[in-house]
Amino acid sequence: MNSVFIKNIDKIVSGDFHKGIIKGADSIVIRDGIITEIGKESEVDSSGIDKIVDANQQIAIPGIIDCHLHNTLDDYAPQRGAVGCYGDALLYGTTTMISEGEQGPGWPRFYNDAIGCKAAAILSKRVFDKFRPGGNLKMHGGALVLVDGFVEKDFKEMAEAGVWIIAEIGGGGLSDPEVVKPLVAWARKYGFFVSCHLAPPSIPGSSWVTSEAILDIKPDKIAHFNGGSTGVSYDHIEKLMAESDAAFELVVNGNFVNFNKILQTLKGKNELHRVVLGSDAPTGQSSLQGAINLAIVKVSSLNDIAPEKAIAMGTGNTADLYKLNTGKIEVGREGDVVIIDHPPGSVGKDALEAIKTGDPFGCSLVIVDGEISGYRGKDGRPTARYCSINGVEDRLSSINEHLFFPPYPARHQKY
């Protein structure tokens, strides 16, 4: 079950920032949802696999990870309906999303309600353990917003229920370091991941968290480091780059100047491996199902950064930070693979060259845990080439089909 053999790949981007492109490999074998072999077609074992994908000399990358989402349990969020948006993001190649704090009408996070926030985090975690938007997207829900009233046993109880993420400190709830630090200490005792944002208040209830406060709190990640959406003065950013051990999250709709300036500074310091990418959806300037795709293009094309390194910022860097067994094309990892290509007419002859020149790439195939989740893609950019599955190529036939009739797994049950 959930087994697939992908052959005739032009290049395999590992998602590992330091490894880059996997040399001498043109095929990937996924069995029972796990990557079992990577190598030459003539050398790997594809026996007993029913789904054989011909990638038609396109590029394979790991499933993309969006590490900053304000998700919801139902089809409501302040700026847009949610469930359909998550499913569309899957077809863009985003196979994993990570909550920075759920939101919705009447949610306890907006009312300083400790009992409600604890209950909401546990419920959200358990909902998304079972519910996979678009059929297969992996949502790590249940990020806890810190409010007044928590005691140590609350963190113990939540950890035992599977909750493991502290939502961005400053994005709602408490942010004063003297109040937050005891809560963070309890959270760390029970294995929580801690995030803190750097930005002026963006919505009512959010807080201005300074670089000094962040250094005092010591989070694992600084959310929307370039501004969410408004940026801070660059001296705060420079101080954190010099003195903090945290990862730096860039969001595509944050401050544009800081986005590029941060990358140039880290490039000079040889520390680009610290960068991860998020959307901050639905807050910020807009909600983009392809936000991480656009961030990858922006990172590479505007900052002379190799496309495979930019892709790692939206895949392997994030997987390493959050200790996820996805985000890289590597034996033993979850079988999340996306086949991408340049858009028709691009000056880039493949997806990597297109990214480098500033053209957004398209996704012709999305695989999650070895299961085909998107075929041909419903994205902002059609691909110049298509994949074949068991010898059959299914390509877009009209503008109506491209705009209004996305592929669903049920359509391809024969595969």
Q: Is pTM beyond 0.75 here?
A: yes
Does residue 241 sit in the same domain as residue 390? no
256 and 341 housed in the same domain: no
Helix, strand, coil shares, percent, the chain, to 5 = 30, 20, 45
What's the token pair of residue 415? 């595969």
Instruction: Check: CB of residue 79 under 8 Å from CB of residue 50.
Output: no
* Range(s) of the domain holding residue 358: 4-62+329-412
One domain, residues 213 and 351: no
Q: Are residues 344 and 354 in the same domain?
A: yes
Residue 397 falls inside a structural domain: yes
Q: Which residues of the chain have pLDDT under 70?
A: 1, 74-83, 202-203, 205, 283-287, 377-380, 404-415
Dist CA 307 CA 298 (whole Å): 10
The CA distance from 200 to 218, in Å, is: 19
What pLDDT sits at residue 38?
A: 98
Q: Is residue 26 part of a domain?
A: yes
Residues contacting 279, CB < 8 A, separation 6+: 66, 68, 69, 251, 252, 253, 287, 288, 291, 292
- pLDDT value of position 83: 63
Q: Is residue 115 part of a domain?
A: yes
Digit-coded pLDDT (tens) for 176-188: 899 999 999 999 9
Closest CA relative to residue 77, chosen from 5, 133, 1 = 133
Q: How far is it, in rounded angstroms, from Cα 248 to Cα 195? A: 10
Q: Establish if 373 belongs to a structural domain.
A: yes
pLDDT given for residue 284 in this prediction: 58
- Specify whether 25 is located in the same domain as 124: no
Do 195 and 86 lie in one domain? The reply is yes
Instruction: Count the domains in the chain.
Output: 2
Q: Which residues contact 131 (CB under 8 A, 6 or more apart)?
A: 139
Are residue 56 and residue 72 in the same domain, yes or no?
Answer: no
Q: Are residues 347 and 363 both part of a single domain?
A: yes
- Backbone φ and ψ of 48, nearest 5°: 75, 10
